[in-house]
Structure 1
Amino acid sequence: MPELPDIELYRHAIAERVVGGPLVGVKLFSPFVLRTVTPLVAAVTGQRIDSVSRLGKRIVLDMEGGLHVVVHLMIAGRLLWAAGEPTVRQPGGRNTLALFQFLQGHILLTEAGTKRRASIHVVDSDGLLALDPGGIEPLDSTLDAFVKALTPENHTIKRALTNPRYVAGIGNAYSDEIFHAAHLSPIRLTKSMTAEEWARLH
């Protein structure tokens, strides 16, 4: 599953290409990918993209009218950029779930396998807030805030670090790398961590 570093790369690359221009259109190729009924996708068509942000492991197109297009890649979802307009109706074949058309090119939302877990939400600001699990941003947090966020209960440090209600954007893959770099066991209990160990983890 793409995690915080991967999503940040996507966010930056997309922002460079589309911010300031309109979302020309959205084509949906799967009946399961759109998880909201209102606002309609048509409500964001033609709207200027003010920014591209991240909400945990989700990528968010922030539109000029106050709506947001939220893409969650889940485990096997990927985003592919290509210049211009697609030359076939459904580029990428059955793995393509959606296509976002911009002036400069288009983005395909694809998902490997048969399970359709990747999703798109079109929401207003309240809807965006409802999608936020509430975890702190680890790159922006102070050490004290980090420790406080991970210690509401006595869990293994891996369970705490990968809980999106505690910390945003970190899953199994990167948590293992983090524990290796910090020389900590992932099964260490949070309430038993020393101040020095918390500093290494942070």
Structure 2
Amino acid sequence: MPELPDITVYVEHLERRLLGRILRKVTLANPFVLRTVQPPLGDAAGRRVVEVRRLGKRIVLALDDERFLVIHLMIAGRLRWRDAGGKAPGKITLASFTFDDGVLYLTEAGSKRRASLHYVAGEAALAALDPGGLDVFALDAAQFAARLAQGNHTVKRALTDPRLFSGIGNSYSDEILHRARLSPFALGARLAPADAARLHEAVKHVLSDWTQRLREETGATFPEKVTAFHDGMAVHGRYGKPCPDCGAPVQRIVYADNEANYCARCQTNGKLLADRALSRLLHDSWPKDIDQLL
């Protein structure tokens, strides 16, 4: 799922191409992507783009008279830009937004249709789509720690909860926790003040660093290869590969539709966290320490 760094770069490129432009037409290739009925989507045609915003992990095209197109890419949704006359992406297209000099396409790979489009009127209607997560860059260490301690959540779950923090998902939470040298299953409410402060700094560093990296990788070209996995990542998507800091193999815990990637030596004092499925299968043979794997 595109997260804060990816969404920020999307927003910056959309501002360059769309700000001040008139939206001529919105076309739905898949009617189920639209999750609102009032105002009718046709009302967007002929309106000028006055702002492009990030709302958590959503992208907002603000139009004249407080009309808002709100795009949530979810897991496999992506945005693609084609200059006027360019070839459309094809069967993966869910919706298209036509301007005089090009077309913005909302696409989604795979068979599951999770990406969504809302068209709403008024700031209050837009605010209703905001899950309420706070911008970590606007928080000081004490405010961050207080937010982290809400509920009895692990730090991994707290970081990725859109009601607590804005724009952080599975990929960058792995990188943040690795940089902070914290177990993904440490409880946010029990973190020592020094650990919470270190985590706060790690959040800001990882998100700002990756935003800048993606800007540089993309350059002037519209971002087409948005992915949750990058070669420069320390642990996310690197199961079994060496940790860049200590060389120990990166570990992984799979749960529900998600996973946590971590370095046992850097983050859990060498302890291997139990994977529910594998630990049940192996019982006493389940290794307890990273050195037992080496």
Q: TM-score, normalised by structure 1?
A: 0.95
Contact (CA 8 Å) 1:23, 1:101: kept in 2 or not? yes
Structure 1 residues without counterparts, runs of 5 or longer: none
Secondary structure class of the residue paired with 1:131: coil
Which residue in 2 is equivalent to 1:110? 107
Letter in 1 for 2:50: D
Deviation at 1:144, TM superposition (A): 2.1
Distance 2:141 2:22 in 1: 40
Secondary structure class of the residue paired with 1:173: helix
Name the structure where helix makes up a greater proportion of residues: 2
Distance 1:96 1:120 in 2: 13
Secondary structure class of the residue paired with 2:53: strand
Higher RCO structure (Cα 8 Å, ≥6 apart): 1
Which range moves more in the overlay, 124-133 or 46-55?
124-133
Which range moves more in the overlay, 35-44 or 143-152?
143-152
Deviation at 1:86, TM superposition (A): 4.8
Which residue in 1 is equivalent to 2:188? 190
1:141 aligned onto 2:139: yes
CA root-mean-square deviation: 1.2
Distance 2:100 2:32 in 1: 26
Secondary structure class of the residue paired with 1:65: helix
Distance 1:60 1:145 in 2: 27
Which residue in 2 is equivalent to 1:131? 129
Distance 2:85 2:119 in 1: 23
Distance 2:85 2:167 in 1: 32
Q: Highest Rg: 1 or 2?
A: 2
Q: TM-score, normalised by structure 2?
A: 0.66
Contact (CA 8 Å) 1:136, 1:146: kept in 2 or not? no
1:93 aligned onto 2:90: yes
Deviating beyond 4 angstroms after TM superposition, the runs of 4 or more aligned structure 1 residues are none
**Same amino acid, percent of matched pairs:** 50
Contact (CA 8 Å) 2:145, 2:197: kept in 1 or not? no
Which residue in 1 is equivalent to 2:276? none
How many residue pairs get aligned? The number is 199
What is the correspondence of 1:6-17 to structure 2 with a 5 Å cutoff? 6-17=6-17
Distance 2:101 2:149 in 1: 46
2:172 to 150, 163, 174: 174
Distance 2:25 2:86 in 1: 12
